[in-house]
Amino acid sequence: MPIILGVDPGSRITGYGVIRAEGRLIEYLDSGCIRVGEKPMAERLRVIFQSLATLIGEYRPEEFAIEQVFMARNPDSALKLGQARGAAIVSAATSGLAVHEYSARQVKQAVVGTGGADKTQVQHMVQALLSLSRPPQADAADALAVALCHAHMSQSVRRLSGAGRVRGGRVRG
């Protein structure tokens, strides 16, 4: 069963979620937040990079999924978010992982059923889907939602790629 590391990047708090997924069977492994606070930006990026490298070394994920940048009203915030995403992506790429990116709308659609869901709805559905005793912290829930989105999308792609196979003169789907 493939292990998926999902990441919700942030310049102050980066959420992460680790699941194991095989078909409809999804198992929660870990989640949490990398908190970097008010350090200089270069130090924050180093902490994000190294913390994710440590998680990758510990869990050995086969898949890495991250939320895409959305356009914030504040260009400085968007730039910092992009830098945090870059540190996370380089950490995954350095470990040999392919990077899969999903928009916030795609993640919410996959987990909640509507692309306009709020953070509370995402937390509730992540808790329910993973049978957690309590809702995860918001950034960790978002990262778990990214991992769940990737699990669903990967399964759909596998199903579709096998749908057109012909065996014994019949199309199997």
Number of domains comprising the chain: 1
Task: Judge whether 8 is annotated as a binding position.
Answer: yes
* Residue 173 belongs to a domain: no
Question: Is residue 4 within 8 Å of 147, Cβ to Cβ?
Answer: yes
The SS3 of residue 137 is: coil
Within a domain: residue 105?
A: yes
* Residue 100 covered by a domain: yes
Please report whether residue 169 resides in a domain: no
Q: Which residue has the tokens 């692309």?
A: 115
Active site residues: 8, 67, 139
102-146 pLDDT, tens per residue? 999 999 999 999 889 999 999 999 999 999 999 999 999 999 999
Name residue 6's beta-bridge partners: 17, 65
Q: Rounded to two decimals, what is the model's pTM?
A: 0.88
Expressed as residue numbers, the domain containing 116 is 3-164
CATH of the domain at 122: 3.30.420.10
Tell whether residue 67 is among the known ligand binding residues.
Answer: yes
